[in-house]
Amino acid sequence: MPALTTTSDGFLLHGEPFRILSGALHYFRVHPDQWADRLRKARLMGLNTVETYIPWNLHEPEPGTLVLDGLLDLPRFLRLAAAEGLYVLLRPGPFICAEWDGGGLPHWLATDPGIRLRTSDPRFTDVVDRYLDLLLPPLLPHLAASGGPVIAVQVENEYGAYGDDIAYLEHLERSLRSRGVGELLFTCDQTDGDHLKNGVLPGVLATGTFGSRVDRSLARLREAQPEGPLMCGEFWIGWFDHWGGPHHGRDAADAAADLDRLLAAGASVNIYMFHGGTNFGRTNGANHHHTYVPTVTSYDYDAPLTESGDPGPKYHAFREVIARHAPVPDEPVPAPSPKLPPATVRLTHRALLLPLADRPVHAPDPRSADDLGLRAGYTLYRTTAPAAGTGLLHFTGGVGDRAQVFLDGAPAGVLERERREETLPVRVPRAGAVVEVLVENMGRVNYGPRIGAAKGLLGPVTLDGTPLRGWDSYALPLDDVPATAPFAPATTPTCAEPAFHRGTFEVTAPADTFLSLPGWTKGEAWVNGFHLGRYWNRGPQRTLYVPGPALRPGANDLVLLELHGTTTPEAHLTDAPDLGPAAS
């Protein structure tokens, strides 16, 4: 019998009445050495449970492999949660959305062009089952039945917003049960439209997702499920940001008032997010409704606990609300973490990017990033132009997602999927000029029917209608700074070519800091090999969070991959984040 059971209007945990007071905390968005700190702060706010998704695409990066270390050491996270006295809600997907790259679905699924994602198509369910065969054995000891903290597991995620294939949901339920998951199962769907109707699975607890209109949302949940606990599976108290858009926030008093209404109604809750964290590396997703828009590096979410783990206005407001409905620990609210003093880092060494490309795939037309087996990163394409002169360079099918064009090494322009651009006016300097196209994957779509869209160049290329043939296509994953990068002292303070820039800075006592890059354009940053994520002067995000555990006493290395150019050889460490002006 599962530890967590339901009655006609609530939960029992080991036979005793229990209300879930949960907050979302994604282990893969937090430095592992900070997990214990964030979990302690969840308990001190009054939570008794934390919730986390599980990103399939990172745990099984290649078919048949399983990664469970570093940021992905989920068993360690579960042990730490148990040590803090917290229960856990697990959300393994297979689809998670989460504004995460591809919604958590592995890029290699697209190698089968006929596969129907998130359906009962055996080509999809077979690989899901293989993944569960890998994932679940190391997690079973952490289920409540074995004395662990996991008291409930989600089936899929907001499926009613995507489809109505009940056979698919039933398959997932059987797959979890047959592999030893005996804990309570639940679904999670928006309370608008037919989402609950399409996503509810008979015999499985239905929960709703919403951030306001609490009474109306709970009423719709009750219509879909006449008996059982009322639970908001995602209580949205903030929002995420896109590059080029505003920084989103929500008034703390307004969010707290809705939380109070929710708890006063006797409902259980999972606050989304309690602590948002960071899309480290290239893990951010993107939305593509009418236009492709990638998500920024920060996943601060205007959550109770800020991106750097400090209690914000919502932390205090929510703690007061929870105290009206449940015991809150009689311990002080945690203080903000120490920050490094402001400092300047001089980037003294440089290595050009494009000469690092090797091992091309040669074909008449460009090969997509997916054809090259690339989950994230960059693709470089090279060919030659047949004649000199001005003309229109046309990319059939567009680019995925942002292409920089060079002619004989000189920048010729940029094309963006976000702007639906496919054609670029160019001036070819000579017959036989080298045409290079560097394409950045800005994040795979995480929601809606465009999940699985290809990256790189998406079709043939023409110049004034004449096909350009004979392309070398290079995969540039650049997950780490290449060990072979020929760094040399920078001879000029500025650079207009895609390049790695490296500098060092001294730290006495490691602590959190924020990287600020005025004068830089667009690229990525690493500190001591830890991939902080993307920066872009388009905003709204103006700083990158640097976790204290990524630093070390003494000399520390900073590397920037700058895709365009810089007007300064300096970067700055600040003691406060800048995520951009708040949305009006």
Positions marked catalytic? 158, 234
- Cβ 208 vs Cβ 232: under 8 Å: yes
**What tokens appear for 464 in the block?**
């004034």
Which residues 6+ apart lie within 8 Å of 219 measured at CB?
none
**Residue 210, strand partner residues:** 235
Measured on CA atoms in the order 56, 62, 67, 70, is the torsion positive or negative? Answer: negative
3-state secondary structure of 521: coil
3-state secondary structure of 66: coil
Q: Which residue has the tokens 């667009």?
A: 522
Which residues 6+ apart lie within 8 Å of 40 measured at CB?
84, 334
Separation of alpha carbons 23 and 78, rounded Å: 15
Type of residue numbered 452: G
DSSP state of 71: G
DSSP state of 253: H
**Residue 191, strand partner residues:** none
408-441 in b/e form (b: 16+ CB < 10 A) is eeeebebbebbeebbebebebeeeebebbbbbbb
Q: How many other C-beta atoms can be found within 10 angstroms of the C-beta atom of residue 267?
A: 23
Separation of alpha carbons 405 and 356, rounded Å: 17
**262 CB-contact burial (10 Å; exposed 0-12 / middle 13-18 / buried 19+):** buried
3-state secondary structure of 301: coil
**What tokens appear for 500 in the block?**
């790695």
3-state secondary structure of 132: helix
3-state secondary structure of 557: strand
Q: Nearest 5 degrees, angle CA 94-CA 96-CA 101?
A: 105
**Residue 505, strand partner residues:** 556
Measured on CA atoms in the order 533, 536, 537, 542, is the torsion positive or negative? Answer: negative
Separation of alpha carbons 419 and 431, rounded Å: 30
Q: Nearest 5 degrees, angle CA 313-CA 317-CA 321?
A: 165
3-state secondary structure of 474: strand
- Cβ 296 vs Cβ 241: under 8 Å: yes
Separation of alpha carbons 191 and 220, rounded Å: 6
3-state secondary structure of 116: coil
Helices (H), 31-108: 35-45, 56-59, 74-83
DSSP class per residue in 309-372: S-B-HHHHHHHHHHHTTS---SSPPPPPPPBPPPEEEEEEEEEESGGG--SPEEESSPPPTTTT
